[in-house]
A and B are shown apart, each in its own frame.
Chain A
Amino acid sequence: MNDIIRRNPGWTVAIALLAAAVVWLIVAPWSAGMEATFGRKQIFLNALFNGITLGALYFLVASGFTLIFGLMKNVNLAHGSLYLLGGYLGFEISEATGSWLFSFVVVFIAVAMLGVVLQYTVFRRMEGEDLRQTLVTIGISIVLADIMLWLWGGPSYQILTPDWLRGPVDLPLIAAVRDSGEVIYLRYPAVRIAILVASIALGVLMWLALNRTRIGMLIRAGVDDREMLAASGVRVQIIFMVVFAFGAGLAGIAGIVGGTFQSVVAGEDMRFLLASLVVVIVGGMGSILGAALGAVLIGLAEQLGSVYAPTYSVVFTFLIMALVLAFRPQGLMGR
C-alpha cells in the first residue's frame, strides 16, 4: 500500500481529497443552495445506503465466486443458480418453520452439499480444462434454471423480514434540518443495516482466515503448487472441497438475503451471476478485498444511477467495468 502511495503521489492526493469531500457530503447538513442543485439530502443518503447494502449483497455472492475461481481456478458459471436455489429454499423453509435465521443454517448446508457434488462430478474430473468446466457449468445452470422454473414457476416470492429486524433504525447522520432548527436523523431499515454489518464481519473473518491462519496459507499454497501440497501430506482434495462448499453455501445464503431485500424470482440467477462477474472483473480475481471494493462500487453505481440518472443506471455499471478493463485489466486489486 505504501509503495503505491509513494509511486503515485498525485493520484493519492486526488483520491484523498475526493474521499474527504464525500465524507463531508455525508456528514454535514446541506444548505438550501446545495439542496436546490443536488436534490434532497435524504434522497442522497437513502440512495447511498441502498447502494452500500446492495453492495453487501453482491459481496456475499461474489466473494464465493472469487474464492472458487480466484483461488481454485474452477470456473463455476452455475454460481447464479446456487444463489437462486438458496433463495427458493430459504423461502420454503422460512415459511414452513417461521424462522428466518434457521433457514440460513439449512440453506447453507444444503447448497454447500450441492457444491460438493458439483466439485466432485465436474471440477475434479476436468482439472485444468477451463473451457470445458465453463461449458459444463453453463449446461448445469440451464438445466437447474429450468427445473426451478418447473417447481416454482414464474411468480416472485418475498421472504419476510423477521419481527425482531423489522422497522427502521435511527442512524447518527443528519438527513435534514427543519426551519425550526430541529435536526432530523436518517431512518433506515434495520434489516439492511444488520445484513451490512454481518457481511462486513464475514468479509473480515474470511480475509483473516485466508491470510492469517495456517489453513488459509495451505489453501493459498495449494493453489500455486498442488503437487507440493499433496507431497507434504495434506489432504488437498478435502481442503478444496471445503473451500468450494463454503463458497457455494455463501451463494445460497446470499439468496436468502436477496429474497428479503428484493425478491426471489426466475431470472435472478442470471442477474446475480452477471453481478458476480462484473464485481470480480472490477475488483480483481481471488481477492476478498477486491470483491468488497468491486461490490460496493457496483452497488453504489446501480443505486445512485437509478435515482439520479434512471435511464442509464445500467450503463454506469458496465462503464465502470469497461474502464477497469481498459486501464487495469487485472482488476483494481488483482495481481
Chain B
Amino acid sequence: MSEQSLGGGGADGRRSLVARLNAGLRSLPPAYGVVGVLLLLMPLLANDFFLFQIFGWAFILGMIALSLMFLAGYGGMVSLAQMSIAALAGYMVAILGDSGATAISLGWPWWLYVPVAILVAAAFATFIGALAVRTEGIYTIMITLAFAAAFFYFTRQNYTIFNGYSGFSNVVPPRLFGVNWRSPVAFYYLSLGCAVLSYFAVVYVSRAPFGLALQGIRDNPRRMAALGFNVVAHRVAAYTFAAVIASVGGILLVWQNAQISPGTAGLPAVIDILVIAIVGGLVRPIGPFIGAFIYVLLRTFSPDVLEALALPGDRFKLIIGLGFLVVVYWSPDGVLGLWERWRSRRRRRRDPLMDRGSEP
C-alpha cells in the first residue's frame, strides 16, 4: 500500500466516504488490482478442494498470523498467544452456539454468540497483554508461549466447559440468507471477505493515531512516555485490537473444520503461526497472507512430493522446519524482505541516479 501522508489526499477534507474510498483504491499499486480481480473470480478457476482447503485455510491462518504481525511489526511485541486467542473464540462459538456436545452447548443465536465470542477472546488477550507488556522483548515470547501452553493443557483437562480431550464437533455456521456458508464457494467468499477486511483494517489503523503511537512506542518507548503517552496502556490495547482479528480467524477456523479440540491450539499449531508470520515477513500486512499460502501449500502437498521422490512422506514437518531455519538465518525479513532486496537491487542496476531507499 503506498504511503499515505497524514491528512489524506485531496483539497477538501470533507469529501464523501465514497470519494475517499475511490481515491484510496486508486492509490493502490496495480498488482493489487490484478490480484483482487483474480481472487474475486477464483471460483471459476479453482476446484472445490482448492477453494475450501487451500484458500480458505490460507485466509484463516493469514488472519491469525496478521494479528501476530500487527503486534510484532507495529508494536515490537512477538506474541505466541494469538493462536490460543483465536481458538478461544472458536471454542466460545461451539459452547455458546450449537454443537454435538448438547450437554454443554447453549444454543444461542449467531448474532449473539459471534460478538460474545470475540469479546471473550479479546478479554483473554487483554489479560495476557497486561501481564506480558511489563517485561521486555524476549520475555514477551516466553510469557505468551507459557500462556499458550496453559490454554492447551486447561482445555484438555477441563470437561465442564471445554469438553476436554474430545472438544466439540458439528460446529457449523448458521444458515443465513438460505446459504450454506460451509459449502466451498460460499466459505471461500466468506473467508476472503474477512481476510480483506482485516487486511485493510490493519493498514488503515497503522496510520491512525493509535497505530502511529504504537509504532512510536516500538521505536522509542522512553520518548513516547516523555511525550505524554501511557506506554503500557497502548501496548495492552494493541493486544486487544489484534485479538479481534485473531478471533474472527478462530471463528472461521472452527466453522471450516466443523470441530475444535485442544489440539487446535496445541504447541505445534502455535509455533506454525509464528513460522507463517516470520516467513511471510513482519514488515507489511500482506506478509502473513503470503506466509500462510506458502505454509498451506507445503503442508498439503509436500507429503506427496516427498513420496514421489521416494522419501518418507511423514517428514514434511522437517521440510517446513528447515525452510523456516533457512529463512530466519538468511533473511530475517521473511519472503517479503527477500523480495524487497531483489527489487531494490534491480532498480539500482537500472538507474543508479534514481536510487531511493525502500519504504519502511
Contact = CB atoms under 8 A, between A and B. Distances in A.
Direct A–B contact in complex, judged by CB atoms less than 8 Å apart: yes
Interface of A: 75, 129-132, 134-136, 138-140, 142-143, 145-147, 150, 270, 274, 277-278, 280-281, 311-312, 314-315, 317-318, 321-322, 325-326, 329-330
Nearest to B72: A131
Contact of B328 (A135, A145, A314): A135
Given A150-B312, A325-B132, 4 more contacts: A143-B318, A278-B146, A281-B143, A321-B143
Contacts of B158: 311
B5 interface: no
B157 A322 contact: no
Interface stretch (B134-142, B203-211, B243-251): B134-142
A323 to B, nearest CB: 10
A314 B153 contact: yes
Given A139-B325, A146-B317, A130 B138 contact: yes
Nearest to B132: A325
Interface string B171-206: 000000000000000000000000000000000000
Contact of B315 (A130, A132, A139, A150): A150
A281 B329 contact: no
Contact of A318 (B138, B147, B325, B328): B147
A314 B152 CA distance: 10
B154 A136 contact: no
Q: How large is the interface on B (under 10, 10 to 19, 20 to 34, 35 or more residues)?
A: 35 or more
B143 A138 contact: no
A146 B315 contact: yes
A285 to B, nearest CB: 8
Contact of B325 (A134, A143, A281, A312): A143
A312 B322 contact: no
Contacts of A145: 317
A277 B146 contact: yes
Interface in B121-135: 131-132, 134-135
A41 B345 CA distance: 74
A277 B144 CA distance: 11
B229 interface: no
A139 B328 contact: yes
Contacts of B131: 322, 325-326
B146 A281 contact: yes
10 contacts: A75-B138, A131-B78, A138-B324, A139-B328, A142-B317, A274-B145, A280-B142, A312-B157, A315-B150, A326-B131
A193 to B, nearest CB: 29
B157 A311 contact: yes
Given A142-B271, A274-B145, A147 B134 contact: no
Contacts of B134: 325, 329
A143 B134 CA distance: 32
A273 to B, nearest CB: 8
Interface of B is mostly: helix
Contacts, number: 96
Contact of A143 (B147, B159, B322): B322
B43 interface: no
Contacts of A318: 146-147, 149-150
A140 B325 contact: yes
Which residue, B134, B135, B142, has most C-beta atoms of chain A within 10 A? B142
A238 to B, nearest CB: 24
A274 B149 contact: yes
B274 interface: yes
The 10 nearest A-B residue pairs measured at CB: A142-B321, A139-B325, A318-B150, A314-B153, A143-B321, A146-B318, A325-B131, A135-B328, A139-B324, A146-B317
B42 interface: no
Contacts of A139: 275, 321-322, 324-325, 328-329
A124 to B, nearest CB: 13
Contacts of B329: 136, 139
Contacts of B142: 277, 280-281
A129 B332 CA distance: 11
Contacts of A150: 312, 314-315, 318
A282 to B, nearest CB: 10
Contacts of B325: 136, 139-140, 142-143
B150 A314 contact: yes
B224 interface: no
A274 B146 contact: yes
Interface in B70-101: 78
B320 interface: yes
Nearest to B141: A134
A281 B159 CA distance: 29
Which residue, A139, A145, A277, A312, has most C-beta atoms of chain B within 10 A? A139
Nearest to A310: B157
A274 B138 CA distance: 14
A142 B157 contact: no
B120 interface: no
Nearest to A73: B138
B278 interface: yes
A330 B329 CA distance: 30
Contacts of B338: none
Interface string B294-326: 000000000000000000101101101110110
B141 A142 contact: no
Contact of B278 (A135, A277, A317, A326): A135
Contacts of B315: 146, 150
B113 to A, nearest CB: 25
B54 interface: no
A130 B142 CA distance: 12
A315 B150 CA distance: 7
Contacts of B320: 142
Given A147-B318, A150-B315, A142 B324 contact: yes
A330 B136 CA distance: 10
B39 interface: no
B104 interface: no
Contacts of A315: 150, 154
